[in-house]
Structure 1
Amino acid sequence: MPIPHISPTANSALSSALEHAINSKTKPLGSLGMLETLARQIGLIQQSTQLALHQPAIIVFAADHGVVAEGISAYPQSVTWQMVENFLGNGAAINVFARQNDSTLYIVDAGVNHDFGPRDGLLDRKQGPGTRNFAKEPAMSREQCLAAMQAGMDLVASLGGNVLGFGEMGIGNTTAAAALMHKLTGTPVADCVGAGTGLSKEGVRHKQQVIEAAVAHHAAVDEPLDVLATFGGFEIAMMAGAMLKAAERRMILLIDGFIVSSALLVAARLQPAILDYCVFSHCSDENGHRQLLASLGARPLLHLDLRLGEGTGSALALPLLHAAVNFMREMATFASAQVSEKSTPD
Structure 2
Amino acid sequence: MAPPRQNQAPPFSKDEKVLCFHGDLMYEAKIMEVSVKSGQKPEDAQYRIHYKGWKASWDDWVSQDRIRKFTEDNKQLASQLEAQARMRSSGSKGGKKGIKANGSEMSSARGSEERVAGSSSFGRGPRRGRDYELENEDAFHARPSIKIFVPDILKAMLVDDWENITKNNQLVPLPHPHPVTKILEDYAAYETPKRPAGSSHVDILEETLAGLKEYFDKSLGRILLYRFERAQYAEMYKKWMSDDAEYQGKTASDTYGPEHLMRLIVSLPELVAQTNMDQQSVNRLREELVKFCTWLSKNTTEYFVSHYESPPQDYIQKAKD
TM over 0.5: no
Greater Rg by CA:
2
TM-score by length of 1: 0.26
Q: Higher relative contact order at CA 8 Å, sep ≥6: structure 1 or structure 2?
A: 1
